[in-house]
Structures are given as structure tokens and as C-alpha cells.
Chains A and B, each alone.
Chain A
Amino acid sequence: MNTKAFDTNNTYIEVQNVDFFYGKKQVLFNNCLTHRKNSILALIGPAGAGKSTHLRLYNRLFDLHKDRHAQGAVYIDGINILDQKYDLIKLRKNVGMIFRQPTPFPMSIFENIAYGIRLHYKLTKSTLAERVRVALETVLLWNEVKDRLNGHAYKLTPAQQQLLCIARSIAIDPELILMDEPTAEIDAISAGKLEDLIGTLKKKYTIIIVPQNLQQAARVSDFSIFFNDGRIVEAVPTNQLFTNPTNKQTEDYITGRSV
């Protein structure tokens, strides 16, 4: 098993021997990987392989469910965030997350973004408005919504809602952004634009994405992890994964044979 195939210099994330359990059922087995800053890591593999579960390690979202727990260590910038003493609010300010389904809150476009900012910063009205504008500009949504910031977020199209969620995430200045099939519920043209956006975001953020399909992984990611049955089978630079997979299971998956 080759889990440290790529660059370990400049390590930003290091996952060491992580096991994960739903109640007594183990779903992740001995996950190990490293990832560097300002690059995009794609988690690929068949449905039920544990990609989304693995993704939720980084912001400890599994903590919402009492029956779920993880063992091992996940270091982000040298700090083990699985340590129970590590502050969840601090962690989640630093690690944003985008979900499969757009999740705008039941409030105006402006308030959606301001909500997150207010959780972590005390700002004057004008600084807050400025920050909302910058976030919306970053995701290229500003021009479409600048005249209706007080309009309800539910009135936006699904693609716009997803961009709003990304804006809400980056408005609180995270370092790492997790994306769980962010284009699954939006139309193909908007999905293409969102992929382009993800490409530009990596200049400032580190991104871990569960892509919607293999093509998306090939288009957006720098490195790929191939998951199967909760185990990391292969970790390689994405271009190498598609052109020259070293592992038989990976090759079978990529070429469409059953794993």
C-alpha cells in the first residue's frame, strides 16, 4: 500500500492511522495520508467507500452524532485536531465545508454571509458589508446579487445558492475547504463554472474535494486518493492516477470494471 507517494515536504495535513466507527461498525481502516498547502486533493472511489466519512474528519462534523468516533490522529498545520481538547469552534472557523445540497439559511443573501462572519468577528456595519462584498466577488456572484442583497436566499437558483454557500464559507477566512460533491445538484454549465472557481480558490486555500465523478477529479485536482471499503488504496498525483495507476484495484475502477 502506497500512501505517501507524493510530496511530503511542505506538509499541511497529515492523517495518521485513522480508524472510524459508526457505533461498533468500523467504516474507515488505518487511513494515512499527507497533503500540502494550496493544492486540491480529490477523494475518489465507489459509493460507500468512506469518502464522505473521511472528509468529515477534518472539521469533526461527526461529533454531532454521539455514536460516531474516530481513532488515530489528524494533524492540520501540526496540531492534532482529533484531540478532544481541541476547540471545535476554532477548528471549524479554520475549516470550511460545502455540501452536496446547497444549504442557504432561511434569511437574506446578505444575512447568510453576515451570519458566519458575526459568529467569529465583531465588526462595524461598514466593515461587515465590505467583507460580504469581497466574499461575493470572490465567488463571482456579486454582480448577480448586488441589487438584491436583502432578497431571500431561497429565491436564488441552486447554482447561485451553492456559490453563496462557498462565499459564506470563505467570508470567515478559513485555510482549508472541504467539498462534498459540490456540483451534484446543479446544472452542467454552472458546474463547469464552479469547477473553474475551485481552480482559482486554491491560490488562497487548501481544498479537499469528493468530486462528482472521475472526470471532475481529473479536471480540478492536483492529487487523488483512491478509496475502497474504507481503506486508502492509492495516493498519487492525479495525472499519474489516470495515466499510470500502480494498483490493480485503482486501474479496474478507473477503467470501469468492478473493483
Chain B
Amino acid sequence: MKAKSLYQRRLVNFIMLSITAGCALFSFLVLVMLIIALCKNGYPALTKTFFTALPAPPGVDEGGVSNALQGSIKMILFSALIGVPTGILAGLYIGELARNTRKADFVLNACGILSGTPTIVTGLFVYTLIVIPSGHFSGFAGITALTLIIIPVTARITAEILVQSSTAMREAAFALGASQWNVTFFVLLRAVRSGLASAILLTIARISGETAPLLFTALNNNYEADSLSQPTASITVTIFQYALSPFAERNDIAWGAALLLTLFILAVTLIARYTGKPQYLSRPLR
């Protein structure tokens, strides 16, 4: 058996390192180019009018997206308020209270399939469920669609985090004579809360960028919706419609809205990374 030459081994090592580093550089460059393009085209649009004015008629300057901002904030907020607690409770059931039972496996699989469903399908589902019977698009329908996206994702994340949490800590809490709900709420949930919070923030960042489910449900509105039963504007649908518009000033606003959305998602992601530092990492090393 002939030994491989040292030169050959170094060469292979160098080539593989170069390929992986090249791919990493490529994906990083794409991100940088995207952010540069967004800033260059979007920043000039971010004027005071952009935030405060309603959309102007085509061809007229001085238009803004205040209605879409308000609509997006409302829909994201309400869907998170309903979806996150429901998802966490469902996750607690799957990951702890009914752990390792067939019921829990079934719900976990259902959540897996639901969170993998293309969101446009969720949009269509809510369209047939709410929009058609009520006869019009509405903010409620938009909130329903976003909530249906949040619940399975949150439930699955909660269950997975709980299953990975320390068995010893669980046993220790039960060994003190604590009841199941006490262990679940006061010890386990507490132990995973930072990881859970960051996962939930990421989910919220994800739904903030959703366009397809809102197209079928909340649609759009040139004015500020008085109530959630009216069609409601959102930043993402505005970007979609304005970017396709033949009018240059609308294209500019679409760039501005895209930059705003990206900055928001970037901020949420950074907060999630910061809060997500698992507490056990702060335990002394031994």
C-alpha cells in the first residue's frame, strides 16, 4: 500500500476549502447586493409623506402608505395575539402533557404538514371559508390566514424545544411533589422561554413578509380601513401592486416599502438572535 503524498493531501484540502469559502462568499454577496439595491432605490422614498399620507392617484406625487402601515401592524399584531398563545398551548400538549402518545404524534404530524403548506393555499382556504360567504375581502380574513400560519409553526417549535429540554430537571421537579401543570408552567416553560421567545419572533418576522395569503383575504384598500371587516391594505400587497404599476412614483414607493419591510425583519431577527441565547450557556463551564 502506497501512502498518499503530503502534497496531494494539502492540495485536496486547499481545493475543498476554496470551494466552500467561495460558496459562502457568493451567498453573502447576494445579500449585500440586495441590501445595496434596496437602500439605493428605497431610501429616497422614505419621506415624511411616505409614512403619513394615503396613496395618491396614479401619476400624482405626494402619495404615502400610511393605510398599509396601519393595516399591516394591525393584522400582524392581532394574528400574533391569537396565534402565539394558541400555538404555545398546543405545543405544551404535544411536547409535555400528552408526550409520546399517539394523539400527540398525530397533532405533531398535522402541524408539520400545515407548516409546510404553501401559504397561498392557506390564503385560498380562508378565501373559501370567509371571503366567499361574507361576500367581501376583510381584515378579519387576513388575520385568520396569518393566524393559521402562526399556530402550527409555534406549536411545533414549542413541542420540539420542550422535548429537547433537560429530563433531569423535569424529574427533579416531579420528585419535589409538583403536579404536571406546575412542572410544565413554572419550571419547563421557564427553562425554555428565551429560546421560545426567539423562535416566536422569527415566526412573526416570517409572517410579516407574507403576501400571497393577504391577496386572497385582506386584499387592499386605498384608504384607512375603519374596521377589520373592510378590505385592509398591507405593506406586502402594496409592494406587490406598486412594483407592477406602470407609474414611476408608485415604483419608488414600492422600493421604499420594501426597504422598510426588510429593515423591520432584520431588526426582529437581530432581537431574536440576542434574546435567543439559551440560558444554560450561562452555566459555569466545568
Taking Cβ atoms with an 8 Å cutoff, the residues of A that contact B are 59, 61, 64, 66, 88-93, 95-97, 99-101, 103, 105-107, 115-116, 119-120, 152, 154-158, 165, 168-169, 172, 185, 187
- Give the complex CA separation of A96 and B177 in angstroms: 9
Instruction: Check if A185 sits within 8 Å of B286, measured CB to CB.
Output: yes
Which residue in chain B gives the minimum CB-CB distance to A93?
B177
Binds A, one of B10-18, B186-194, B213-221, B267-275: B186-194
Instruction: Check if B172 sits within 8 Å of A99, measured CB to CB.
Output: yes
For B178, the chain A residues whose CB sits under 8 A away are: 116, 119
- Give the complex CA separation of A172 and B169 in angstroms: 18
For A120, the chain B residues whose CB sits under 8 A away are: 177
- Give the complex CA separation of A88 and B177 in angstroms: 7
Q: Report the tally of A-B residue pairs with Cβ distances under 8 A.
A: 77
Name the distance in Å between B178's Cβ and chain A's nearest Cβ.
5
Which residue in chain A gives the minimum CB-CB distance to B175?
A97
Q: A64-B170, A103-B168, A157-B284 are in contact. Are A59 and B186 (CB under 8 A)?
A: no
Instruction: Check if A106 sits within 8 Å of B174, measured CB to CB.
Output: no
A-B contacts, 16 of them at CB < 8 A, read A61-B174, A64-B170, A91-B177, A93-B177, A96-B175, A97-B175, A99-B168, A105-B173, A105-B187, A106-B190, A116-B177, A116-B178, A158-B284, A165-B172, A169-B176, A172-B177
Give the secondary structure class of B's interface: helix
Q: Considering residues B172, B175, B279, which has the most beta carbons from chain A within 10 angstroms of its beta carbon?
A: B175
Q: A66-B100, A89-B179, A106-B191 are in contact. Are A154 and B173 (CB under 8 A)?
A: no
Instruction: Check if A92 sits within 8 Å of B177, measured CB to CB.
Output: yes
Instruction: Check if A154 sits within 8 Å of B280, measured CB to CB.
Output: yes
For B186, the chain A residues whose CB sits under 8 A away are: 115
Assess whether B282 is interfacial by the CB under 8 Å rule: yes
The 6 closest A-B pairs by CB, nearest first: A92-B177, A103-B172, A97-B175, A93-B177, A106-B191, A116-B176
- Give the complex CA separation of A142 and B283 in angstroms: 20
What does the 1/0 interface line of B181-205 toward A look like (CB < 8 Å)?
0100011001101000000000000
Interface residues of B in 156-170 (CB under 8 A from A): 166, 168-170
For B226, the chain A residues whose CB sits under 8 A away are: none
Instruction: Check if B190 sits within 8 Å of A158, measured CB to CB.
Output: no
- Give the complex CA separation of A93 and B174 in angstroms: 10
For B193, the chain A residues whose CB sits under 8 A away are: 106
- Give the complex CA separation of A165 and B179 in angstroms: 18
Q: A103-B166, A105-B187, A154-B279 are in contact. Are A97 and B172 (CB under 8 A)?
A: yes
- Give the complex CA separation of A193 and B135 in angstroms: 76
Interface residues of B in 197-251 (CB under 8 A from A): none
For B190, the chain A residues whose CB sits under 8 A away are: 105-107
Which residue in chain B gives the minimum CB-CB distance to A154?
B283
Name the distance in Å between A59's Cβ and chain B's nearest Cβ.
6
Instruction: Check if A155 sits within 8 Å of B284, measured CB to CB.
Output: yes
- Give the complex CA separation of A149 and B153 in angstroms: 38
Q: A105-B187, A106-B187, A106-B191 are in contact. Are A119 and B168 (CB under 8 A)?
A: no
Interface residues of B in 131-177 (CB under 8 A from A): 166, 168-177
Which residue in chain B gives the minimum CB-CB distance to A89?
B177
Name the distance in Å between A218's Cβ and chain B's nearest Cβ.
26
- Give the complex CA separation of A120 and B175 in angstroms: 13
Instruction: Check if B191 sits within 8 Å of A119, measured CB to CB.
Output: no
Instruction: Check if B177 sits within 8 Å of A119, measured CB to CB.
Output: yes
- Give the complex CA separation of A101 and B169 in angstroms: 9
Instruction: Check if B283 sits within 8 Å of A172, measured CB to CB.
Output: no
Q: A106-B279, A119-B182, A154-B283 are in contact. Are A101 and B176 (CB under 8 A)?
A: no
For B179, the chain A residues whose CB sits under 8 A away are: 89
- Give the complex CA separation of A78 and B173 in angstroms: 26
- Give the complex CA separation of A66 and B190 in angstroms: 25
Instruction: Check if A168 sits within 8 Å of B176, measured CB to CB.
Output: yes
Q: Considering residues A88, A103, A154, A156, which has the most beta carbons from chain B within 10 angstroms of its beta carbon?
A: A103
For B172, the chain A residues whose CB sits under 8 A away are: 97, 99, 103, 105, 165
